[in-house]
Amino acid sequence: DTGVSQNPRHKITKRGQNVTFRCDPISEHNRLYWYRQTLGQGPEFLTYFQNEAQLEKSRLLSDRFSAERPKGSFSTLEIQRTEQGDSAMYLCASRPAGGSAGELFFGEGSRLTVL
């Protein structure tokens, strides 16, 4: 399968713990995005990478959240000191340079449950 891969698919953690999600984009895609989807809502933009550079961060991305994309390949999203409000599906998407406007290739998501 050459689609966007996200791991783990589901993470259950206790409040206050740190969690990290990984995203492997489609290999030739240099642009990578993180979105968050809470129950009953559509996805919301979190952050955007072009190669290894993080070019934009939403105000939704508090200082407890950090995203990286070393070497412009896979990306990680870390949440420190998790809170119950962090429970959501975290979606990763990628697209190639010059790709069609608005066409993002999404992964299946990583679901976070904070107890």
Partner 1 sequence: AQTVTQSQPEMSVQEAETVTLSCTYDTSESDYYLFWYKQPPSRQMILVIRQEAYKQQNATENRFSVNFQKAAKSFSLKISDSQLGDAAMYFCAYSKSGGSNYKLTFGKGTLLTVNP
Among left, alpha and beta (phi > 0; psi -120 to 50; other), residue 109 is: left
SS3 state at 75 = strand
Nearer to partner 1, 4 or 67 (CB): 4
Interaction pattern, residues 52-81, with partner 1; x per rule: CB under 8 A: ----x-------------------------
What is the residue type of 4?
A: V
- Candidate residues 68, 78, 83, 108; the one interacting with partner 1 per rule CB under 8 A: 108
CB-based contacts of 100, cutoff 8 Å, min separation 6: none
Binding pattern for the stretch 5-44 against partner 1, x by CB under 8 A and - elsewhere: --------------------------x-x-x----xxxxx
